[in-house]
Amino acid sequence: MRANPQPAASATSARGEPAREAELAANRSVPTKSTAPAAPAKPTASRPAPTAPSAPSTRRAARSRAAVFFTILAVAAIVLAVVSAGVGQFPVSPADVVASIARRLGLSGVHQIQPAADDVLWAVRFPRVTMAVLVGAGLATAGALMQGVFGNPLAEPGVIGVSAGAAAAASAAIATGWASAGVWSTAAAAFAGGLATTIAVYTLSRSQGRTEVVTLVLTGIAVNAVCGAVIAFLTFAATTQAREQIVFWQLGSLNGMRWVYVGAVTPLVLGGVCAALALGRRLDILALGERPARHLGIDVERTRITAIIVIALLTAGAVAFCGIISFVGLVIPHLVRMVLGPAHRQLIAASALGGAALMLGADLVARNAVPYADLPIGMLTALVGGPFFFWLLRRTRRTSGGWA
């Protein structure tokens, strides 16, 4: 006997077409995994989130910026040296300047220059240009070291009394007549006075085997005041001629430079710059603070005294023959730090180049701004450095939210 399928068919027909359509619609609205794949989502118009640059790309950008900056400084120093050697009461073309240097180096195939121009270049211009490079590099390097040791971008070599001590000793040599003993007497007195003052400041600020930065600064201010009083008394007690020499020496000048003076300053500046570069890594660690630096194996006291000795040698050697030249050690390192950052090896090398370029430019203006006159170069650097120092104070106060 066969089964009858009619009851199922009748049940379906009993529900009618509306029920069947609803069932089919429900089956379409919930497809199974075996049905047709889902339609792809429409792309949105939102922008992708920006991603931070990776560390290698950041390092490459920093190296590229440093290379460009070093190239600019080197080219500026070379151009200023050639122009400064050629411009003056006896003009010499840049081609003749380059030809004279090439001839002394033994290079053939250069055009001949006038004997008078060659004599002027090697007897007067080149010693002065070389001394400007040495003095600018020495003062700027000393300023970079000073700011690294004190951890303050407002520090300069004069804080520890080097310049004031050199000026006091030079004034004493001029007032007592000892300067007439020879051309080296005033320079030797200034160099010895700068070193002696630095040793006195460090000794007076040292307590229980340590030297605090605040104590060092305050001691330097006191010693600077004493040296200023000594200079004032010597200026008052000296003769009219000696008084004029004291005032002129304090204004700073590169007039009358000779190769023997350059030979005396060169080892001090080159040795000081090399020593400063060797201290770069320790100064980077010292910037973290004294306690972290000690935990990382840095002898803070030895690093500080080594840096102060290098600063004293650089500054005393620079001012011994040229007098007081201010603000070079403040302006140049801070500008370089704004471009390259706080890494001290790059900072010191770029500061040396920048200081040389600044001194070459200042000396070029000092020799040619007034006809038949030689302006004090310390006056020009102060005219540039004074407004910059004021701007730096305002900027530091604004960014830090006040001094309190």
Question: Three-state secondary structure along the chain?
Answer: CCCCCHHHHHHHHHHHHHHHHHHHHHHHHCCCCCCCCCCCCCCCCCCCCCCCCCHHHHHHHHHHHHHHHHHHHHHHHHHHHHHHHHCCCCCCCHHHHHHHHHHHCCCCCCCCCCHHHHHHHHHHHHHHHHHHHHHHHHHHHHHHHHHHHHCCCCCCHHHHCHHHHHHHHHHHHHHCCHHHHCCCHHHHHHHHHHHHHHHHHHHHHEECCEECHHHHHHHHHHHHHHHHHHHHHHHHHCCHHHHHHHHHHHHCCCCCCCHHHHHHHHHHHHHHHHHHHHCHHHHHHHCCCHHHHHHCCCCHHHHHHHHHHHHHHHHHHHHHHHCCCCCHHHHHHHHHHHHHCCCHHHHHHHHHHHHHHHHHHHHHHHHHCCCCCCCCHHHHHHHHHHHHHHHHHHHHHHHHCCCC
The answer on pLDDT for 345 being more than 80 is yes
Better pLDDT: 389 or 291 = 291
| Other beta carbons less than 10 A from residue 150's beta carbon | 19
The answer on pLDDT for 35 being more than 90 is no
Half-sphere exposure of 317 (CA within 13 A, CB side): 31
Better pLDDT: 7 or 68 = 68
The answer on pLDDT for 216 being more than 80 is yes
The mean-pLDDT minimum among 21-35, 164-178, 197-211, 234-248 falls in 21-35
Residue reference for tokens 């040619």: 368
Strands (E), 268-400: none
Residue reference for tokens 């700068």: 194
Which of the four pLDDT bands, split at 50, 70 and 90, describes residue 158? confident
Q: What is residue 74's predicted lDDT score, i.e. its pLDDT? A: 95
The answer on pLDDT for 22 being more than 70 is no
Provide mean pLDDT across the span 277-292.
89
| Other beta carbons less than 10 A from residue 289's beta carbon | 12
Amino acid code (one letter) for 281: R
Which of the four pLDDT bands, split at 50, 70 and 90, describes residue 388? confident
- Is the pTM higher than 0.85? The answer reads no
Provide mean pLDDT across the span 136-147.
93
| Other beta carbons less than 10 A from residue 3's beta carbon | 6
46-76: pLDDT as tens digits: 455 555 556 677 777 878 888 999 999 999 9
Percent of the chain whose pLDDT exceeds 70:
84
Which of the four pLDDT bands, split at 50, 70 and 90, describes residue 36? very low
Provide mean pLDDT across the span 3-20.
42
Better pLDDT: 232 or 30 = 232
Q: What is residue 125's predicted lDDT score, i.e. its pLDDT? A: 93
Amino acid code (one letter) for 101: I
The answer on pLDDT for 333 being more than 50 is yes
Q: What is residue 293's predicted lDDT score, i.e. its pLDDT? A: 86
Provide mean pLDDT across the span 72-97.
92
Provide mean pLDDT across the span 1-22.
42
Which of the four pLDDT bands, split at 50, 70 and 90, describes residue 13? very low
Which of the four pLDDT bands, split at 50, 70 and 90, describes residue 121? very high
Which of the four pLDDT bands, split at 50, 70 and 90, describes residue 126? very high
Q: What is residue 89's predicted lDDT score, i.e. its pLDDT? A: 84
Which of the four pLDDT bands, split at 50, 70 and 90, describes residue 358? very high
CATH fold of the domain at 85-397: ABC transporter involved in vitamin B12 uptake, BtuC (1.10.3470)
The mean of the pLDDT values for the chain is 82
Provide mean pLDDT across the span 269-281.
94
Domain chopping of the chain, boundaries = 85-397
